[in-house]
Structure 1
Amino acid sequence: MSIEVMHIVNLFKFPASSVIPQVNLLYDESTDIFPSKLYELSGNAKFTVPENSTCFLYQHQGHSVLTGHYNLPVYAGMYACVTAGEIKAMNGQAIIIERLNYRGMFSIGGEVEPLGRLRYIDGCTDSLLVPPVKFGDACLNALFFPVNTHQTPHTHPSVRIGMVIRGHGICATPDHQVPLVVGDIFVIPTDTIHSFHTDANDELVVIAYHPDTDFGAKDEDHPMINRSLVNGVSARFIDEIRTKA
């Protein structure tokens, strides 16, 4: 299966003031085990967060206002996890990734830092911009590929949806060498062999959405219960006092 790179919706090529207000569905995997959709939000369009969904927003240009959360603005370079209300574009451009049948926790952050906080592979680093609230939850990452990166080919057990926010590079598959520049939105289908590469002149930074994780807090393993001690013993190991479902 080949990587899908949607150059036709490269947001960087179109000044925010020149685009038609629209909510454009770019990718739809509603029937997947981890159902997800990808939208472009532009101009002065409005997007209503569907019931029983959580939306991950990255603001590319201009700004948006989150009306379901005290009319909070999200400016270019910022990101958010939105669980209710409307996302109103204000002469701006953004991507929205909807995770269906999932309830996240509202948050706003940004701008993306210059370097990842977690070591990844082949000299790359990663930051969890929106971490999973509980084990298995969806997350939003920033992936950092320094100059002269030649990543080991690999796969992911679920879809990856991303956007280039700094620099340029190449995504390689067994069949293609796909150039990536700022504003490119891409989808890497489940189990697709791929790797990212940069040259000596520029880094590559991408926003990356994961619809699922094998990481996060559990009812029996989280900081509050782990660090609650009864006679020196963590409550994690005292089944009779742990809150039951």
Structure 2
Amino acid sequence: MGAQWKAKHKEEAANAKGKLFTKLTKEIMVAARNGADPDMNPRLRLAVEAAKKASMTRETLERAIKKGSGQLDGNINYEKVVYEGFAPHQVPVIVECLTDNVNRTISNIRGLFRKGQLGTSGSVSWDFDHLGIIEATPASKDADVEMAAIEAGAQDFEVDEDGTATFYTDLTDLDLVQKALPGQGFTVVSAKLGYKPKNPVSLDGEALNEVEAFLAAIDNDDDVHEVYVGLAG
């Protein structure tokens, strides 16, 4: 039983890493459409940094850039599509997908939203702020998150129990702020454009379990790139 359990969790970890690599590869390919040089393409630079942190091989990374920028034959074009709706208990959800087949994706998303409610464009996005989101960890005990936010040009910040800081920026300031944070004593873990809920819903018990199961099923779909939810805590 113990060996089976270990094998199962090893397989789950491998599958999770494979799914992460698939997401990162898609993001690199989409970003590389605007230029194959990360120094001249902020979105590509962020995607490449995320791939390196996930230990993606250089060969895989370079191939994704070449595919996305049209330097290789058989290029797959991924399109970004965004869906809005509600999880059970009227919890607002925004789902970003990167797909090479929109018909397949919408069919899957409709199926996944059967336990919730799929809305139209704008049905819940008004209840979110669209901004830059940077996760960072203090590089030293002296790092001051409030001072770092001010000096780097972030709009706002939050700190988790484990000390991880989330900095929020204007959409156009994401690259500048994430470049400035190391000079303020913070190591950037991730940086992306995303959504922050304005009025997160608080749930517990069985209701929270229902919502978490719903979100896990959506996140498990291969075309789903990011899931943003208006859930507190």
Question: Common fold, TM-score beyond 0.5?
Answer: no
TM-score normalized by the length of structure 1: 0.26
Structure number with the higher strand fraction is 1
More helix per residue: 2
> Normalising to structure 2: TM-score of the pair?
0.27
